[in-house]
Amino acid sequence: MKKNVIFRIAAIVLMCTLVTACFASSTFAKYTSGAEGTATVTVAKWSIKVGANDIVNAAGTPASVTFNLFDTIKDTDGQNETDVASGKIAPGTQGSFKFDDIKNESEVNTEVTIKLTIDDAANMPPLQYRVDGGAWTNWAAGENVIVDKEALAMNGTLAGKTIEWKWDFNANGVDNPYGINPATLNATLAIVVDQVD
């Protein structure tokens, strides 16, 4: 008899627990909500022009810039050279080249570096160079000459620079070795434009 009473009490307690759990779970359920949003942004344009030509083509590779540093060969007095064969340089010759304006049509600020190199280190004569009428500087063979380096803001224009070169008539006394085995000198102009941070 005692066992039946205990069993009945336990069954009633179990039923009360189940009913309370159901009631509590349906009455005290947590709130839950959510929200989503979207944002739109456009990547800044990158476009650098030398003259009318963009220096990066549609494929993203550098475009070529045509220039001829030795296109104009004159005597050291600035007159037309008549004592040296056409298209050749020798002691007592000089010349100049001007490259086009550089325009930053990008939507970022930039820095422009312009480098000039002559590649034949073994046979390069004692040339000198200057930029926009500045001081004459000896041009070491194979040297990357930084012609210019300056900031170029969005929609800004960097005016084209005039690069002059000369081979003094009496630069090193006797310059015969450069003419005995004459070299063909290849000049490279590199225009590098970097976004500034």
Domain spans in the chain, listed from the N-terminal domain onward: 48-195
Residues 6+ apart with CB under 8 A from 163: 69, 96, 97, 98, 99, 116, 129, 130, 131, 147
Whether residue 72 contacts residue 78, with contact meaning beta carbons closer than 8 Å, is answered with no
Distances (CA, A) of 186 to 67, 130, 139, 190: 12, 18, 14, 13
The 137-138 sheet, strands edge to edge: 74-75, 93-98, 162-167, 128-131, 137-138
State both tokens at 185.
Answer: 């000198």
For position 159, what pLDDT does the model report?
93
CB atoms within 10 A of CB 143: 16
Per-residue pLDDT of the chain (197 residues; tens, 9 = 90+): 555 656 666 666 566 565 555 555 555 568 888 889 899 999 999 899 988 888 876 666 666 666 777 878 888 788 888 888 888 888 889 998 888 899 999 999 999 998 888 776 667 888 888 889 999 988 876 677 788 899 999 999 999 889 888 988 876 667 777 888 887 888 888 888 899 98
Instruction: Specify the DSSP element, H or E, that contains 110.
Output: strand 110-118
Distances (CA, A) of 97 to 68, 69, 136, 180: 7, 5, 15, 27
For position 77, what pLDDT does the model report?
80
Largest CA distance in the chain: 139
Predicted TM-score (pTM) of this structure: 0.70
Question: Kind of pairing, strands 74-75 and 102-104?
Answer: unpaired
For position 158, what pLDDT does the model report?
94
For position 44, what pLDDT does the model report?
92
For position 60, what pLDDT does the model report?
66
Q: How far apart are CA 152 and CA 149, in angstroms?
A: 10
Distances (CA, A) of 96 to 116, 131, 146: 13, 10, 16
